[in-house]
Structure 1
Amino acid sequence: MAPASPLPMDPIAEAKRQWIAHGWADAADGMAAFSSVMRTHQLMYSRVDAVLKPLGLSYARLELLRLLSFTRGGALPMASASARLQVHPTSVTNVVDRLERDGFLRREAHPTDGRATLVVLTPAGRTLVEAATAALNEQVFAQPGIPPDELRSMTGILARFRRASGDFTDPAPHPEPL
């Protein structure tokens, strides 16, 4: 969250200065970059949370509802939801429990795999996810506070870092149609 009033200096720049002063110049830029990303995450998350909290949502709950809303039938196996959201199955179960309790999704037996459980978006869940997405788009995503060209550059840099860290691989190219 942002401080009540801005600090009179950048604490990450000061940390970098101290890193260099203590003989760690070779690691100072990395420390500053990682610290900047973590602090930026806090600031961005607080903006998103301020929009979602009045709707009774966390970002994790929104992500699951939005994922389900993107599917053809509004349903996915829980294991697929876990993989696509890149979170542990226990975390998905906790989110599903709360969303089911609130009537925004339901569990159903998988029609062809007796071991799997589907999570299915309810009409109330669809209404909520559309309202939450509209609010986030209007209040946060459309005006993120970063110029569009810099935003695209930042996203590309972070995607390259994520790919190099093993977060994802590029899909194989589709063959040209015959």
Structure 2
Amino acid sequence: MLPRRNTALALGALVLTVPALSSCGFNYATDQVNTIATVENNRSEEVELVGAVIVSASPGSGTFYATLSGTDIEEPTAFVSLEGPNLQADFEPYEVGPDNPVVLFQEGGIAVRGDFAPGDFVPMVAGLENGTSLDLLVPVVPECDQYADLDTADLPDPALVEDQEPYECESVFEEHPADPQELELDEEGVG
């Protein structure tokens, strides 16, 4: 009778401890937002900017896409600027509010020009009307595969880029390899 009782106690203890031992605990990586994609996200402010990418059909020009969501703000603000070293982006402000996200994929994106090519990572700052600045390191992807026909920008200024021929999807990464780990940043975090 005693062995049966010990077995029942051991089995009961095992049943009670298995959930505690098999869980991940609190505030572990499984509780965090996970985005597996070649895009930049900045969720550090009350307006979140996610999915940032530049789609480029030729060197020096491209179209910036992202989604801005103001779920934590009480008063609407506007996305008013996109700045970076040797980067030109002119656009009309987009209003961002609690119930008014801005999805640039639906809006046609923002034409940008500068010294970049697919495989590069472009440091830039997205500015909001309320004074908030969102620091970004945006990947540049070729206008191929899932990004086909998304670069709506005109060709760049010849003074910015010498080679303005459109890319061929098969060879673009052979010509412009880049690794974000090898990107050299200056003291201000700008490449």
What range is the shorter-chain TM-score in? under 0.3
Higher RCO (CA 8 Å, separation ≥ 6 residues): 2
More strand by share: 2
Provide the TM-score with structure 2 as the length reference: 0.25
